[in-house]
Structure formats: C-alpha cells, structure tokens
Structure 1
C-alpha cells in the first residue's frame, strides 16, 4: 500500500503494477502523493483503500511531525473516476457501506481521516482539484494553492451530492450561502477566487516549496502542543462553551506534565537545542 520510494513513477505503468498512493518519509515529514498522473490522479477504488492505509501508517508513527499531501504530475486530483468505480457494483458498495449511519465509510475516511491525525496536514493544490479531490483537500489543515489551480465542488455536475465528508470542513471556513452556491453550481474557481472565499489558505508561485517551508517551521514546535491545538480546535469549533473550556484545561494540564513542554521552554530561552520526544499517545 505504501512505499518509501519517489512518487514520480513512470506514467505508463498500469494501476496494477504501481503504488497509487505513495508515502515517503523526509526527516519527520510524511510526503503523501496521489500517484495516478496519467489519469490526472482521478480516484479509483484502489486509491481509496490505499489512502486509508497511508493514514493508518502515519497515525501509528509517532516520529512523524507533519504531513504534506500532493498530487503527481502537476494536478492534485480530477475527482472520482466514475467509470472505473461504477464498473463493479461491489466497489460502489465498498465505498458507501458503513455499520452505523454516523460512522465514516471508506469514501468519507479519505477526507475526514486527515482531520483525525494528531499532526498538521498541508495540502499542495496545483492543476485540477475537482470533486473527490476537493473533498480530500478539505480534510487538510492548510491548503496552499497555485494561482492557476482549478478548484470545484463538482458532484452536482454528475447529479450527485458531495458525500466524502468535505462539508465538515467547508462549513467551518465558508458562509452557508456561499457553500450552497458552490456545491449547487459546481462552478470552477481559480486560485485567487478560492482564496477570497476561504477555500484555500494561501497562494504561492511554488506551492510545494511553500509547504516545505511551513512544515519545517512547524517542526520547531512541540508535537504534543500541535496535536492538542489541532484536536481541540476540531472538537471545540462547534461545541458548547463549557465543552471548549473543559477541553482547553484538560489538554493544558497534560501538556504541562509532559517532557516536550520542558524542551519547548528551554529551546525558546536558548538553553538547549535538544530534539523533541515522540508525540504522546493520548491524542
């Protein structure tokens, strides 16, 4: 499912003979690449399964500090490969089936799974970012796009509803009327308009290099603090004030008694350059 090799595999290889989602570790940074460039990284069933496997691998590796998520070949993802996925009814069932209505199915985990990781996730958006690709990018904590990127919540174009959990992030970054307009019209936005609407975090001439700079900046912070900030923000954003206050206090207590708090304080005072310890498990 995952590989430590470069994501730039020859495009002429068939889906059966290459990793469609690759994972490369770079000094604490997990570089995840959608690797189907000859199809503009359109999502087939195998890619859904491999994305979830990569998320599990990252979650289990406490040495990883930041995730950078990108697409190979100059495009993030053109969305669902409808012809491929619907060719077998068992694949449609595999994407949508769930034990309980409130649980995430396979299609939803490839987006919401990034929000549940206890480390920052940065999406690099270039070229096409349509439909299912947009849903995956919405699961990231930060989205850095090129000005000429093309973004769309495109499911309505095919007579479908967005059903990959991207709405969980969309409702937190955009007013409801604007989100409805985008999802109902399936309109394609360039990077500048996406930035203006809050769909992306920032624009960059070289989005991947910008993501690497941000990732290295985040590596200078305590991994426990980053995990607490991310988890608390996602859990508390729409929660009651009482729940927010309780969660903040609980996480702060856990941080104060952790070794990474002491390391962070010493680093900021210039008394040590000691590396942080692996992230605590309780997130």
Structure 2
C-alpha cells in the first residue's frame, strides 16, 4: 500500500499528500521511493501548472521512521547508493521536487521534523501554521541532516542560523521558521493558502512560469554577467514563442 497520494485537479495543479496519519506521516523507505517516483512522474506530466505538497492528519511529518528502517538494514544500505544525479534515495525524495519545471508549494502543520523538514525545504515555497513544530533533529539522534537538508539550509538561511538549528536540535515554531527564512509565510490554514497560491500561479502563462523558476534556480548566487546572459536568453525564447507563426 502506497502512503503517497497524488491527484491533479481541473486547474492542472497536482496535490501530493503524505498519507500515513496514524504514524504522523513518518517516512519509510518505500515512502521515500514513492516520493521520488511521484516527482519523476509529475516532471513528465503534460500541462501541469503547479504542485501542492502536504500531509494528512495532525502533522506534515514526524521525520524518518527509524524503527522501520532498523528492520531493513539491507534496504537502508541500498538506499545510500547514489545515482547518476549525485543523490541517493534519501536525498532524491526531497531534492527531486526542485527539478520539477513547475513551482512546488509545501503546506505544513503539526510536526515538521527531521526528514519531513528536509522534504519541506525541497519545495520552492513553504506556508506553515504559526504553531507548527519544526526541528532539525538529526544531531539529537546521533546523525546529521542528510536528505539534502544541509544544501537546502545553505540556500535559505545564514550559516550561523543553520549551525545553531542543526547543532542544538532545538524545536522552533512556524512563526520562527518564517523569521529564520525557512518558510515564506505563516497561516492558520496553510493548505488553503497553498492551493490559492497555486491557482494564482496556474493562471499565468505556463512557459513564463517554467522559465522563471529555471532562471532563478540556475542563476541564484551566480555573478551578474552570467545572470544577465541567462535573463536575455530566457526572454528571447519567450518572445520568439509568442510571435505569430512560431
């Protein structure tokens, strides 16, 4: 039984849900594989405009199910093997969402712990309840954030904040997550807000949305000359595509 649900609505917005509410959506190896497979499938979906990522029940996710992983050491060992993309199964479950050509919006509530936090950081945008319980908890378990979390933290917040959150494993609220730069906004109903945001984005020219996401991801942190060149190339492609007869 898959614990990852995915539907696409009439506005061409995909809704991907962690669906293991009895375990607070704790991630199993199978769920990680299903997350990566779902991202790959959506990447090829024609006409898709946006993706909303959420969790069923009381939480977005309580992190990796370590008890389940401990019962399958051979599976854990296989999951550590990197693919040609440079990511292993743990990392790909989170990072694959950045490679989608359309924006991915995470709507988070309740627990946002460990691997689930890293999954949320794999989205392009995040909306959280103010009282959500966020935690970079791996060091408290004798581990390190290794589901692309270090890379995501480096992209979203400063080194001192990332170091403190990682080394202390302190729990912090959704309000603090916004203050730290890990979420874009706080809302009492993040799923409704995420859906509204996705519908707004879906109403724009899809080629422009895809080009803008690609441009931002490929040039962020680059020098101005490379960014200016990438801007020109993207704009010319869009203008050419809008011309009659093209």
Gap runs ≥5 in structure 1? 1-17, 263-283
Cα deviation for residue 257 of structure 1 reads 1.4
**8 Å Cα contact 2:36-2:94 kept in structure 1:** no
Cα deviation for residue 183 of structure 1 reads 0.6
| 1:1-283 map, 5 Å | 18-27=1-10, 28-99=12-83, 103-259=86-242
Aligned length: 243
**8 Å Cα contact 1:112-1:166 kept in structure 2:** no
**8 Å Cα contact 2:25-2:61 kept in structure 1:** yes
1:6 is matched with: none
Please state whether the residue corresponding to 1:23 is helix, strand or coil.
strand
**8 Å Cα contact 2:27-2:115 kept in structure 1:** yes
Question: More displaced, 40-49 or 159-168?
Answer: 159-168
TM-score by length of 2: 0.94
Cα deviation for residue 99 of structure 1 reads 4.8
**8 Å Cα contact 2:3-2:20 kept in structure 1:** yes
Report the RMSD for the aligned CA atoms in angstroms: 1.5
Q: RCO greater where, 1 or 2, for CA within 8 Å and sep 6 or more?
A: 2
Q: List, as ranges, runs of 4+ consecutive aligned residues in structure 1 with deviation greater than 6 Å.
A: none
Alignment partners' CA distance in 2, 1:21 and 1:103: 24
Alignment partners' CA distance in 2, 1:103 and 1:82: 24
Alignment partners' CA distance in 2, 1:246 and 1:168: 26
Cα deviation for residue 111 of structure 1 reads 1.3
Alignment partners' CA distance in 2, 1:94 and 1:245: 42
Alignment partners' CA distance in 2, 1:172 and 1:70: 22
For the pair shown, the structure with the greater C-alpha radius of gyration is 1
Gap runs ≥5 in structure 2? none
Q: Residues 84-139 of structure 1: CA distance to partner in whole angstroms, max 9, x if unpaired? A: 11212221112211156x71111111111111100010001000010000000001
Please state whether the residue corresponding to 1:144 is helix, strand or coil.
strand
TM-score by length of 1: 0.82
